Amino acid sequence: MAGTKKNKSVEPKTSRGNGGELHQASATTLTTNQGIPISDNQSSLRAGARGPTLLEDFVLREKITSFDHERIPERIVHARGSGAHGYFELEASMAKYTRADFLQRPGERTPVFARFSTVAGGADSVDLPRDVRGFAVKFYTREGNFDLVGNNIPVFFIQDAIKFPDLVHSVKMEPDRAFPQAASAHDTFWDFISLTPESTHMIMWAMSDRAIPRSLRMIEGFGVHTFRLVDKKGKSTFVKFHWRPKLGMQSVVWDEALKINGADNDYHRKDLWNAIASGDFPEWELFFQLFTEAQANKLGFDVLDPTKLIPEELIPLTKVGRLVLDRNPDNFFAETEQVAFCPANIVPGIDFSNDPLLQGRLFSYLDTQLSRLGSPNFHELPINAPKCPMHNFQRDGRMRTTVPKGRVNYEPNTLAPDSARENREAGFRTFPTLDAGDKLRVRSESFADHYTQARLFFQSQTPSEQNHIVSALVFELSLVETLAVRERMVSNLGNVDPDLARRVAHGLGMPKVPPPSKPAVPPSTMKPSPALSIQKKMKETLEGRMVACLVTDGVDKAVIDGLQREVKAAGAKLVIVAPRIGGVLRSDKQRLPADFTLQGGPSVLFDAVVIAPSTDGGSKLAREAAAVDFVRDAFGHLKAIGHTAGAAPLLAAAGIGRDPGVVPIDGKRGVAAFVAAAKKVRFFAREPMVRSSP
């Protein structure tokens, strides 16, 4: 793999700034809880610069154990989650690459439970903060449980698990004041990030539209780390796991996210639940990114570095199967809250790499579950129990529910000749690697480039997406009180893209742009990757979306009938918004029930809107602030707006003029034209008309 030829190592640049010096002299020596001085708090102990992390690293174990046990019973991270049952259907045999049983026979379905989550907020926070989304899937295979525990972003903030407590402490509520909740726009987070150049790539993703998704059904998922697949002959192939949503990706804009959180804290949770309950089952395709060690050595970056990704243009994806979620939990606590994922849960044919963040997670997740669920017997909870036979000699402990029989609880034995024994053929065998080297607390030299892929991500975005990243950085950093932190962060951004740094500095009102910080490795420029952009991959579809129709008494029956027919044919749902929840009287004097009131159903909750009042109703709506906001927000959030002639006074009051996304629906083809416009999802060309960008 990359970096093996030099076999060099460097001290980590994590907490160093320009030239590698510490930003602040330490008045006291950092120690363990036992008072033992710590020489290096940046890197785990490993066998060689790129070797596996060692169990004897008492500094790592103490630090993560303390962190894992800080909260009970709520998860410290990923506390707010939504889950669902379903199945994984294999579509292409992977027997060429792995002996994993559930990846052998096309057409075979494996039961799964999936959980989606935000990272920073507590269990009672909101659904749409700017945040990473967890994407975890438990496969109940015939060889035991396989947990693919990842995120909706393919890279991470840090390279080494020893820094995870520091990262999370920095982004959580500040300990003296207990705010902000579920937000990264504060001093401690950006202080840490500005001193941690390896986080720059992830920051580009976190400040992009990926961090404010429209729906959990419309996010991608990634295993983040490099794993191994091992075939029946013991041959290894590296793999990265990718989930792709059938509905395509879609995000909201920042102003919309803020208003959704105000209108409905449970927006994502309801969306997932209602889709499954109505039979519109969410679906993702699973892809493998397969590559050999020889290919890894030619990439120019280290595949063991979790702050790096492999562009699809360099190594394409192989479609493997599909994930379908078709059943909501029967009990939220018993299933969604008590489900225990662990990256160490793998099956024969899948194995780990020496990624130092993954190595730490293998310990940390199990330790966390012991704290949260109170016993090593958490595997007996129904949501965690394997669906295949399970046999071992582990006994007793708190909350043991099974009743083992017999006098033998050890192995080897002769008193129970039919008891379980190891199986050298079918059992899990670790892939043998030649890892040797001095025991060191260092980062591999191949991990030292912190800016090249951050530049790749930024330069792969559309101008609109770049504007959103700039605006997000300005918003976040403007809430940082410490000027030196802002300056240091902008200085780091200069290594990503000079124009990015200039625009953020301008947005913050800095008198001059700070010079770029001195990188450990000068960044290079890679060819842009369209696969990294949401807008470049966006599907023109209304499938799985929701269209709202704002009506008053006298609404034309023919318009409603046409909308219901066309929207349903496009795979979307039409909902009625009215001044009163009791609904309105149509033009034929029949009552049209309402799904939302105007006050309780703002346009931020929907993907496209239609304004269809009567002539008199349109004049009344023009004097109603909630109705004006309904239309103005839909326009400002770049959505398609269909309207009847009766809506003219309201459109005028909201300042809405001609626009390709503002479609009259009167006439024979009007409704069809609106649906065609709504399939474009967003009208990004409108954005300069409704908001400025630094």
List all residues 6 or more positions away from 22 whose beta carbon is below 8 Å from its beta carbon. 15, 16
N-to-C CA span, the chain: 41
pLDDT tens readout for residues 535-552 = 999 999 999 999 999 999
C-alpha torsion 415→417→420→425, nearest 10: 140
Instruction: Encode pLDDT of 561-605 as tens digits.
Output: 999 999 999 999 999 999 999 999 999 999 999 999 999 999 999
CA-CA distance, 44 to 52, in Å (whole number)? 10
Per-residue pLDDT averaged across 67-80, rounded?
82
- 3-class SS shares of the chain: helix, strand, coil, % to 5: 30, 15, 50
Find, among 162, 221, 222, 225, the residue nearest to 352 by Cα.
225
Phi, psi of 159 (to 5 degrees): -100, -20
- What is d(CA 499, CA 14) in angstroms, rounded to the nearest whole number? 25
Of 147-161, 336-350, 389-403, the range with the lowest mean pLDDT is: 389-403
| Integer angstrom CA distances of residue 90 from 140, 144, 608, 623, 625 | 14, 17, 35, 56, 52
Tokens of 570: 């496009």
**Confidence (pLDDT) at 429:** 85
> What percent of the chain clears pLDDT 90, i.e. is strictly above it?
82
Q: What is the mean pLDDT of residues 2-21?
A: 43
CATH class of the region 540-690: alpha beta
Three-state DSSP class for 553?
coil
pLDDT average, residue stretch 171-188: 96
* pLDDT computed for residue 27 by the predictor: 64
Residue tagged 């539209």 (tokens) = 209
Which of helix, strand or coil describes residue 456? helix
Q: List, in order, residues 6 or more apart from 57 with CB less than 8 Å away.
A: 44, 45
pLDDT band at residue 21 under the 50/70/90 scheme: very low
Using 50, 70 and 90 to split pLDDT, how confident is the model at 87? very high
Question: Tokens 């979307």 sit at which residue?
Answer: 572
- pLDDT of 554 reads 96
Antiparallel, parallel or unpaired: β 9-10 and 443-444: antiparallel
- Write the secondary structure of 349-381 as one string of H (helix), E (strand) and C (coil): CEECCCCHHHHHHHHHHHHHHHHHHCCHHHHHC
User: One-letter amino acid identity for 77?
Assistant: V
- Could you write out the DSSP letters of every residue in 139-186? EEEBTEEEEEEEESSSS-S-SSGGGHHHHHHHHSPPTTT---SS---S
* CATH 2.60.40.10 for domain 9-380: no
* Average model confidence (pLDDT) across the chain: 93
Give yes or no: 78 in active site.
Answer: yes
DSSP string, 487-533: HHHHHHHTTT-HHHHHHHHHHTT-SSPPPPP--SS----PPP-GGG-
Burial code of 125-152, b = ≥16 C-beta within 10 A, e = fewer? bbbbbbbbbbbbbbbbbebbbbbbbbbb
Percent of the chain predicted with pLDDT > 70? 96
* Residue 471 to residue 213: CA distance in whole angstroms: 17
pLDDT value at residue 18? 37
Would the pLDDT of 667 be above 90?
A: no
User: How much is the pLDDT for 17?
Assistant: 39
DSSP 233: T
Active-site residue identified among 78, 85, 468, 637? 78
Q: For 206-217, how does the pLDDT look when each residue is reduced to its tens digit (9 = 90+)?
A: 999 999 999 999
- pLDDT score recorded for residue 14: 42
| Span 363-390, average pLDDT | 90
pLDDT of res. 6: 44
pLDDT value of residue 374: 87
Tokens of 604: 């931020």
Look at the alpha carbons of 144, 219, 295, 435 in this order and tell me if their dihedral is positive or negative.
negative
Q: How far apart are CA 277 and CA 360, in angstroms?
A: 38
Q: What is the pLDDT of residue 65?
A: 80
Grade residue 3 by pLDDT with cuts at 50, 70 and 90.
very low
Contact predicate 550/566, CB 8 Å: no
pLDDT at 240 over 70: yes
Order of strands across the sheet that contains 662-664? 596-597, 573-578, 546-551, 608-612, 641-643, 662-664
Residue 38 binned pLDDT confidence (cut-offs 50, 70, 90): confident
Q: How confident is the model at residue 31 (pLDDT cuts 50, 70, 90)?
A: confident
H or E element in which residue 296 lies? helix 293-297
Rounded to whole angstroms, the Cα distance separating 293 from 69 reads: 38
Tell me what pLDDT residue 393 has: 87
Does 341 have pLDDT greater than 90?
A: yes
pLDDT digits (tens, 9 = 90+) for 500-512: 999 999 999 999 9
Q: Domain map of the chain by residue range?
A: 9-380, 446-536, 540-690
pLDDT band at 376 (very low <50, low <70, confident <90, very high): confident
- Give the residue with greater pLDDT, 375 vs 446: 446
| Contacting residues for 67 by C-beta, under 8 A, at least 6 apart | 76, 164, 165, 168, 364
DSSP 8-state assignment for residue 52: P
Q: Per the structure block, which two tokens stand in for 536?
A: 């470049």
| Range scoring the smallest mean pLDDT among 173-177, 332-336, 375-379 | 375-379
Q: 3-state class of 443 per DSSP?
A: strand
CA 686 to chain centre: 28
Question: Residue 668 corresponds to which tokens in the numbers above?
Answer: 């024979």
- 47 by Cβ neighbours in 10 Å (0-12 / 13-18 / 19+) ranks as middle
Q: Is 151 a catalytic residue?
A: yes
Q: Give the architecture-level CATH label for domain 446-536.
A: Up-down Bundle (1.20)
Q: Which of 195-204, 370-379, 570-579, 668-677 has the lowest mean pLDDT?
A: 370-379
Give the pLDDT confidence score for residue 72 in this predicted structure: 56
Q: What is the pLDDT of residue 390?
A: 85
Q: Worst-scoring range by mean pLDDT, 27-31, 379-383, 420-424, 582-586? A: 27-31
- For 613-678, the DSSP string reads --HHHHHHHTT-HHHHHHHHHHHHTT--EEE-GGGHHHHHHTT----TTEEE--STTHHHHHHHHH
| Residue 563 pLDDT | 97
Contact partners, residue 101, CB within 8 Å, separation at least 6: 141, 142, 143, 347, 348, 349
Task: Give residues with Cβ within 8 angstroms of 454, minimum separation 6.
Answer: 200, 201, 203, 204, 495, 496, 523
Assess whether pLDDT exceeds 60 at residue 286. yes
Q: How many CB atoms lie within 10 A of CB 36?
A: 11
**CA pair distance 312, 177, nearest whole angstrom:** 44
Using pLDDT thresholds of 50, 70 and 90, give the confidence band for residue 627. very high
Q: Which of 145, 151, 345, 354 is catalytic?
A: 151
Q: Is 561 left (phi over 0), alpha (psi -120 to 50) or beta?
A: alpha
Least confident stretch, 16-20, 77-81, 326-330, 357-361: 16-20
Check residue 668 and give its pLDDT.
84
Residue range 413-424, pLDDT digits in tens: 999 998 888 888
pLDDT at site 688: 94
